[in-house]
Structure 1
Amino acid sequence: MRILKSTRELDRFFLQLRQADKRALLLDYDGTLAPFQVERDTAIPYPGVRERLQAILAGKHTRLVVISGRQIADLIPLLGMDPLPELWGSHGWERLLPDQTYQGPCLETPHRCGLARARTWGEEQGWQDRYESKPASLALHWRGLPEEEITRLRQTVLEAWTPIARESGLVIHEFDGGVELRVPGQTKGDAVQTILAEMDTDAVVAYLGDDLTDEDAFQALGNHGLSVLVRPVFRPTAADVWIIPPTE
């Protein structure tokens, strides 16, 4: 573990954690709870992670939340938990509460049409297997490809998606292993802010994530809790601590 900010603040966090009546553990999925996989539907949690999450749920002392870029329908079978924790999918556009109440997006026509145009264009290129269609975005994955092919693919996609994004009011976000065309207005940071607003001000909260999309969550949490970067190789981050999965 590498402490990126004040050691004193880290000590204070763990002291508050031991004394807290209200706690929340917020977790990204891919790269944090589970290793990245070229075949995305095989990305199950690291050994022992599922059992630890189930123990946290059973203890009923900590609000457990998974906040993922995946859509919830894809996340549920990978987690393999019963009961499920609270889930946020599609970078905060979807929410599934523990009582199975589902909240999802209602897209405006320009956004919906823009995503459909991008999807059709990709299918014409023969990239169906690399596309991931979500309720409020479309992602193209290139994990596992040679670097030269990634460079070519990235350039081709950005050239095609940029005018679609401009005309439809969508935004383009690059992530570790691909690029995504998204409806603006919701991020993992918004999910964190909602959760914080629902909890007592003295609740102790931690967020663990690996990707650039998790930086929104780190910034939203700010001084309200502990932000942990989870990845094998360090990168600049707003997190308080860096750990290397899965051993740490």
Structure 2
Amino acid sequence: MLPHALERVPAWCRGWKESGRLVLLLDFDGTLAPIVERPEMAAMPAETRTALERLMAMPGVQAAVVSGRGLADVRERAAIPGIAYAGNHGMEIEGAGLHRMHPDAVSARPSLEAAARLIEPALAAIPGAFVEDKGMTLSIHFRQVPPERHDEVRDAVERVVRGDGGLHVTTGKMVIEVRPRVDWDKGKAVLFLLGHIRPPFNAPVLYLGDDRTDEDAFRALA
């Protein structure tokens, strides 16, 4: 059985002291900010912001927010100086001397626009369902949809995406995502970030996340 995370705190502190570095990789929704009914309502609580700012002021601390949100959106909502940001599950990365957009995801933009034009009318008759266009991915939110109609939302999205081999569907907490079919996820994004910032081998690397997409990062760092 894996140890509880809190049991590892002394080892992390020891590694931080010995290496002089601590790397924090943080999801946004459900981790830095509570889950809310609509994505535009999400905000980081003041006490969380204060704690993160205090951490960033400590020697040797580096941090990145790794989110499914679009890069500009998560950067605006987090707005912590000195932090790097990975948006759209790492397809967009900015900070720590980086500015990267996955080229295959950029190329898939016309396909995403076409999918959005088809999905939106297909969901029009389902109260509470809506499409969020995040530039490199689409999120179809159904948190406010009656449970007995959840399958209708999934079916509508899958019918559209099935016709485009360059896109695929993933699921999260009360959200369906349409993504470019590229070999990239939060796991590959955090390894890319770590390869760039090059922390010492014994520096603690902590990833905090609450959704299915964060499991890609957990596996990459295991």
TM range (shorter): 0.7 to 0.9
CA distance in 2 between counterparts of 1:196 and 1:98 reads: 10
**Residue 102 of structure 2 aligns with which residue?**
105
CA distance in 1 between counterparts of 2:148 and 2:19 reads: 51
Confirm or deny: 8 A CA contact 1:42 1:78 kept in the other structure.
no
**Residue 93 of structure 2 aligns with which residue?**
95
Q: Quick one: percent identity of the two aligned structures? A: 29
Could you say if the C-alpha distance between residues 68 and 133 of structure 1 is closer, same or farther in structure 2, counting changes exceeding 3 Å?
A: same
Structure 2 residue identity aligned to 1:215: E
Could you say if the C-alpha distance between residues 45 and 22 of structure 1 is closer, same or farther in structure 2, counting changes exceeding 3 Å?
A: same
CA distance in 2 between counterparts of 1:52 and 1:171 reads: 37
State the 1:18 CA deviation. Answer: 4.3
CA distance in 2 between counterparts of 1:124 and 1:35 reads: 30
Equivalent residue for 1:119, pick from 87, 92, 116: 116
Secondary structure, in 3 states, of the residue corresponding to 2:200?
Answer: coil
Confirm or deny: 8 A CA contact 1:24 1:205 kept in the other structure.
yes
Structure 1 residue identity aligned to 2:138: L
Deviation string for 1:161-211 (max 9, x for gaps)? 2222xx3x2221111111111122211101111233232222211000001
- The reply to whether residue 177 of structure 1 matches residue 174 of structure 2 is yes
Q: Gaps spanning 5+ residues in structure 1: where?
A: 223-248
CA distance in 2 between counterparts of 1:135 and 1:105 reads: 12
Could you say if the C-alpha distance between residues 90 and 53 of structure 1 is closer, same or farther in structure 2, counting changes exceeding 3 Å?
A: same
Structure 1 residue identity aligned to 2:150: I
Structure 1 residue identity aligned to 2:202: D
> Over aligned residue pairs, what C-alpha RMSD do you find?
2.6
State the 1:59 CA deviation. Answer: 2.0
CA distance in 2 between counterparts of 1:196 and 1:103 reads: 14
Deviation string for 1:66-120 (max 9, x for gaps)? 1001011111222243x25111111001111156x53223347873332122111
Secondary structure, in 3 states, of the residue corresponding to 1:64?
Answer: strand
Could you say if the C-alpha distance between residues 115 and 207 of structure 1 is closer, same or farther in structure 2, counting changes exceeding 3 Å?
A: same
Q: Gaps spanning 5+ residues in structure 2: where?
A: none
- The reply to whether residue 154 of structure 1 matches residue 154 of structure 2 is yes
State the 1:139 CA deviation. Answer: 1.4
**Residue 30 of structure 1 aligns with which residue?**
29
Q: Between Structure 1 and Structure 2, how many residues are aligned?
A: 214
**Residue 71 of structure 2 aligns with which residue?**
72
Confirm or deny: 8 A CA contact 2:120 2:130 kept in the other structure.
no
Could you say if the C-alpha distance between residues 199 and 132 of structure 1 is closer, same or farther in structure 2, counting changes exceeding 3 Å?
A: same
Structure 2 residue identity aligned to 1:102: H
TM-score by length of 1: 0.77
Moved over 6 A (4+): none
TM-score by length of 2: 0.85
CA distance in 2 between counterparts of 1:108 and 1:153 reads: 24
Confirm or deny: 8 A CA contact 1:91 1:187 kept in the other structure.
yes
CA distance in 2 between counterparts of 1:158 and 1:98 reads: 37
CA distance in 2 between counterparts of 1:84 and 1:148 reads: 45
Confirm or deny: 8 A CA contact 2:87 2:93 kept in the other structure.
yes
Structure 1 residue identity aligned to 2:119: G
